Structure 1
Amino acid sequence: MTSTFIDRRDAGRELAALLSAYAERDDVIVLGLPRGGVPVAFEVASALDAALDVLVVRKLGVPWQPELAMGAIASGNAFYLDERIVDYAGVSKTALDEVIANERAELQRRETLYRGSRPPLDVARKVAIIVDDGMATGATMKAAAISLRRAHAPPASIVAAVPVAPLDSEARVAGVVDEFVCVLRPYQYLGVGQFYLDFDQTSDDEVRALLSQRH
């Protein structure tokens, strides 16, 4: 029987229990990957009594199979491309450039929508815990971590934290994060939604509401 979370908030509470070493520290910032990662991150930040912010990341999906990530982009001009998937899927440079342009426009829209005029929280010399609702290829988490590494004032360490991920997930982000924390690493893995009873899409309004509660 597959273990499941009730919803993203439930998953966040289970994930927070594994991150208790970071509770009530003034050097910890929780960064949710919108949209689905934000409800998870909200519960983590609440349990740890830590500040919460978003780190906007956009998956670069194969044009005719959008759920298959061939890379990702993130705030701060971070860019990650999996050349193996690009070659395997036969994506042309023209098609790739179009996907990147579209996702950059959406990334900017979300930055403005979620944060408005409020500047990002300062992660310099702090522990940045990047939270998503799950991991598949690892492209999104990699892009998020790379964006922090390349920041003018990077964090002291980066923790990738997700409720569920494939067995080899830690190896997929090795070298770009300092620690990987995960509740479930099942042998059979078809996708993140498989492990949630309620995996309805998170709305922009919910993201904004959760951020306002922890800011």
Structure 2
Amino acid sequence: MRYHDRRQAGRRLAEPLRDLQLGGELERPLVLALPRGGVPVGAEIARVLHAPLDVLVARKIGAPFNPELGVGALAGEGPPLFDGRSLAVLGLTAEELAPRVERERAELRRREELYRGGRPAPGVRDRSVVVVDDGLATGVTARAALRAVRALGPARLVLAVPVSSPQAAAALEREVDRLVCPYRPAAFQGVGQWYEDFSQVGDDEVVATLRASAAAR
């Protein structure tokens, strides 16, 4: 099974989430999408749940010799979350990565300002929060995002993703009250292989999607 694009994946995810809402499990829902790929997915979910949509910006912390190799992540104002096993294998320490962490934190704040246009972050305390991404490979960035939200005191924390590696799904199931992920293929190699159209989502699309979602409500 493959999704046509992120919007179609969002509509598929919205069905079980709507059932949870009707069953009383999602009261006063708030959808927080991880930009950029999670935003089109989250927009479809927010539309069906009649919920506000906002962003939850998280940044991967890459290894010094290969920025694409994630060894940790950060979200919100909390401390970075590192993969201890990766640090040990690569012979790295958190102290060595401190300059890279500060650069990623600066980029995180820049993107929050860009996407929200000066709006404050939405309050999550005592709300049902649905965190959305377009898929999970390692899950390290999503884990940092989930812990940042959990620290703010939501009534319920749900992670919704269209597809995930079995390993990431199993690990993140322990971080949330419920994981909604309809597809966990054993032959997982990357998120993009499970979409017919996995075109890059740009900043302009993120901003336009957020504005359209707010106007629709």
- What TM-score does the superposition give when structure 1 sets the normalisation length? 0.91
- Which residue number corresponds to residue 194 of structure 1? 193
- Over aligned residues, Cα RMSD in angstroms? 1.7
- Work out whether residues 27 and 128 of structure 2, in 8 Å CA contact, stay in contact via their aligned partners in 1: no
- Which residue number corresponds to residue 16 of structure 1? 14
Number of residues paired by the alignment? 211
Structure-to-structure mapping, 1:14-53, within 5 angstroms = 14-23=12-21, 27-53=28-54
Structure holding more strand per residue: 1
Structure-to-structure mapping, 1:53-202, within 5 angstroms = 53-93=54-94, 95-151=96-152, 154-202=153-201
2-structure distance, mates of 1:6, 1:127 = 28
Structure 1 residue 61 displacement after superposition: 1.9
Cα pair distance change 1:157/1:199, threshold 3 Å: same
Cα pair distance change 1:144/1:78, threshold 3 Å: farther
2-structure distance, mates of 1:93, 1:143 = 15
- Work out whether residues 60 and 141 of structure 2, in 8 Å CA contact, stay in contact via their aligned partners in 1: yes
Cα pair distance change 1:95/1:4, threshold 3 Å: farther
Query: Which amino acid is 1:210 matched to?
Result: T
* Structure 2 stretches lacking a partner, 5+ long: none
Structure 1 residue 90 displacement after superposition: 2.7
Structure 1 residue 58 displacement after superposition: 0.5
* Structure 1 stretches lacking a partner, 5+ long: none
2-structure distance, mates of 1:47, 1:67 = 34
Identical aligned pairs, as a percentage? 45
Structure 1 residue 96 displacement after superposition: 1.5
2-structure distance, mates of 1:173, 1:26 = 22
- Work out whether residues 78 and 143 of structure 1, in 8 Å CA contact, stay in contact via their aligned partners in 2: no
Query: Which amino acid is 1:128 matched to?
Result: V
1-structure distance, mates of 2:190, 2:36 = 17
